Amino acid sequence: MLWPVPIHAHARRSVAVLRLALALGVGLVAPACRVVSHPTEPYGPPVTRPAPASWDEVLASPTEVEVRTVVSAKWEANRRGLVSLRHPAAKEAGLKNEKVPIVLHVGVVRHPEAGDFVVDTGIDAGLAQGDRKGAARGLLRTAARSLEPVESLAAIVERHELTVGGVLLTHSHFDHILGLPDLPPEVPVYTGPGELSDRRKLNGLQRPTSRHVFEGRAPVREVDPARTIALDPFPAVIDLLGDGSIWGIVCEGHTEGSMAWLVNASDGPVLFVGDTSHTRWGWEHGVEPGAFTSDHRLNAESLERLRQFVERYPQTKVYVGHEL
């Protein structure tokens, strides 16, 4: 999740408290609560073949899946939230806290049989048009005004002639779900284990937006931990469709149910790491996010596993959470 530039100084006391939270990137506003009270159902893939023994076996059989990434909006955020400035590598590099440009991007995964999937959702058409009926609700509507729209999810779907068969969320922070209203309510949404029931203080700010974007949608499909397998270096992964094309990797830390998504594409593996690493600098130097993460230790462990995977399979193309 990214907390952007401070909001207007003339706001009421509650907004002033939000301003402090935005500046610090910590949960100072409300008691811990669920992301959203929306129905979920455990998801396990169809069992069509024996589980692979290693990633060597998986990647030896690429699938006829194509991947591209599209920028939906531009924004800026404080560096101290994007990377831990306390990390020795950040200190050695002399990184300072300042506003840096970021993007909200949408991964597009085209599957020849299962349809098209999007990884995270960018922004919706209402928000892209500056409509007050855009996806952001409550105090987050003010924060969202600093977004620079590029292309809504609806426009991406139309331009690329997508038939969306599912949404693969890396996590449920509001800057990753704002495009959901552009999709029909029956399109399934996949998340990591316990993601929507995760309790964090800042969820109080997100709840109006989360409630709006999930309202009327089918139950969210949460990865069932009992249906995952271990594939070194990861303790829990899932073959989403049972055909080796799209793999969900449980990456607890940024949020309880954070996921990375690995696509075994025809022109090489593609890895969407979500906000386990917001920036390419953080990825390249193994530095976990700063204020914008829930559990620094678990986030760092998940980041290290992802980096170990790419070291073993350097042909993997990596997309971090908020840079291209």
Angle at CA of residue 247, ends 293 and 289, nearest 5°: 15
SS3 292: coil
Q: Please tell me the predicted confidence (pLDDT) of residue 49.
A: 86
Q: Please tell me the predicted confidence (pLDDT) of residue 254.
A: 96
Separation of alpha carbons 241 and 58, rounded Å: 14
Q: Which residues of the chain have pLDDT under 50?
A: 3-30
Separation of alpha carbons 324 and 321, rounded Å: 8
pTM of the full predicted structure?
Answer: 0.91
Q: Return the sign of the alpha-carbon dihedral for residues 192, 314, 269, 320.
A: positive
Q: Please tell me the predicted confidence (pLDDT) of residue 32.
A: 67
Q: Please tell me the predicted confidence (pLDDT) of residue 143.
A: 83
* 297-309 pLDDT tens trace: 999 999 999 999 9
The widest CA-to-CA distance across the chain, in whole angstroms, is: 61
Q: Return the sign of the alpha-carbon dihedral for residues 134, 140, 143, 148.
A: negative
Instruction: Return the CATH architecture of domain 13-32+51-319.
Output: 4-Layer Sandwich (3.60)
Separation of alpha carbons 24 and 91, rounded Å: 19
Q: Please tell me the predicted confidence (pLDDT) of residue 33.
A: 76
Q: Please tell me the predicted confidence (pLDDT) of residue 65.
A: 98
